[in-house]
C-alpha cells in the first residue's frame, strides 16, 4: 500500500488516510499494517503523529517530520486552533444546523465525563421509497460536522445521541440501515471522512488548508442520490 500524499515539505507531511487502517500499533489489535509505519517506509524518514483518526474514519491527517514541529502542531490541536471539518452520511433528516453539547466518557480509560461539543449543518437530504425500518420510506442526510472538542468517537456518539446514526457505524449505528447500504450500494465502511483540515504551518506561519481526495463509496452515494460533489464542507 502507498498512502496518498496531499502535501510534503521539510517539516510536515499530509496524507489522505484510507478507512480501516489503524494509525499506529495497538495491544488490542493484530493488524500488520499501520499508517505510521507505512508512511515512514514510503517517504524514508521518521514521522510523528500529532492527532488521530479512528480506524474506520478516512480523510486528511498531518504528521510532523521532527519533534519540535510535532510539539507545535499538537499544541494547535490542544488549543483548538485547528479547523476540522468532516463529511458524514446519517439516517434521517437532520435539522438544517445545530450544536450537540453532550458529555462523553472514555469507556477504555474509565475517566470521568468530559464536555464534548459538536457543530453540524445539513448539506443535502434524500427520501427513498424503501422500507428499511418501520416506516414505508427511508430518509438520509449529508452533513458537515465540526467537532469543537476532541473526545474519542465524539462524532459517532454525538450523532447517535440525536438519533441520526452514521451509516456504516457497526458500534453506534443501526444494523438495518448499515445492511441496506451494503446490499444496495456496496458500502462496507463507516461513512465519515475528515474532509478538510486547516492549520498554521509551524515554521513559515502560513495558514494552510488541505482537502480529502474523492472516494469511491462517496461517489456512489452522490450518484445514486443525485447530489453534487460541490456539496461538501466549506464550499
| pLDDT > 70? residue 9 | yes
Out of 9, 10, 41, 54, pick the active-site residue. 54
Task: Read off the pLDDT band of 45 (50, 70, 90).
Answer: very high
Per-residue confidence at 235, pLDDT binned at 50, 70, 90? very low
For 5-225, the fitting CATH number among 3.30.1360.120, 3.30.2350.10, 3.90.550.60, 3.40.50.2300 is: 3.30.2350.10
The domain ranges of the chain are 5-225
What's the confidence (pLDDT) of residue 4? 98
pLDDT tens digits along 192-203 = 999 999 999 999
Cα Rg of the chain, angstroms: 18
Helix (H) / strand (E) containing 17? strand 12-17
Q: Please compute the mean of the pLDDT values over residues 65-90 and round it to a whole number.
A: 96
pLDDT for res 234: 45
Q: How far apart are CA 229 and CA 50, in angstroms?
A: 29
Do 166 and 187 meet the contact criterion of CB atoms below 8 Å apart?
no
Checking if the pLDDT of 164 tops 80, the result is: yes
pLDDT tens, 103-156? 998 766 667 899 999 999 999 999 999 999 989 999 999 999 999 998 989 999
The question of whether 186 is a catalytic residue gets the answer no
C-alpha span between 135 and 106 (Å, rounded): 34
pLDDT at 50: 95
Amino acid at each position: 500500500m502507498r498512502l496518498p500524499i496531499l502535501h510534503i515539505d521539510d517539516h510536515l507531511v499530509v496524507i489522505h488516510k484510507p478507512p480501516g487502517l489503524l494509525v499506529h500499533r495497538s495491544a488490542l489489535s493484530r493488524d500488520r499494517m499501520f499508517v505510521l509505519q507505512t508512511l515512514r517506509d514510503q517517504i524514508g524518514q521518521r514521522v510523528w503523529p500529532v492527532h488521530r483518526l479512528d480506524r474506520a474514519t478516512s480523510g486528511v491527517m498531518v504528521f510532523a517530520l521532527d519533534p519540535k514541529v510535532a510539539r507545535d502542531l499538537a499544541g494547535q490541536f490542544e488549543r483548538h486552533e485547528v479547523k476540522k471539518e468532516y463529511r458524514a452520511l446519517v439516517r434521517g433528516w437532520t435539522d438544517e444546523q445545530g450544536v450537540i453539547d453532550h458529555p462523553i466518557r472514555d469507556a477504555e480509560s474509565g475517566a470521568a465525563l468530559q464536555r464534548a461539543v459538536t457543530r453540524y449543518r445539513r448539506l443535502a437530504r434524500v427520501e427513498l421509497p424503501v422500507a428499511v425500518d418501520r416506516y414505508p420510506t427511508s430518509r438520509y442526510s449529508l452533513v458537515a460536522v465540526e467537532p469543537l472538542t476532541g473526545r474519542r468517537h465524539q462524532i459517532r456518539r454525538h450523532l447517535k445521541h440525536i438519533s441520526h446514526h452514521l451509516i456504516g457505524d457497526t458500534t453506534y449505528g443501526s444494523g438495518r440501515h448499515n445492511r441496506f447500504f451494503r446490499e444496495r450500494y456496496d458500502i462496507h465502511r463507516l461513512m465519515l471522512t475528515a474532509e478538510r483540515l486547516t492549520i498554521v504551518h509551524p515554521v513559515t506561519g502560513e495558514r494552510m488548508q488541505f482537502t480529502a481526495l474523492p472516494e469511491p463509496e462517496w461517489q456512489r452515494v452522490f450518484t445514486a442520490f443525485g447530489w453534487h460533489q460541490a456539496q461538501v464542507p466549506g464550499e
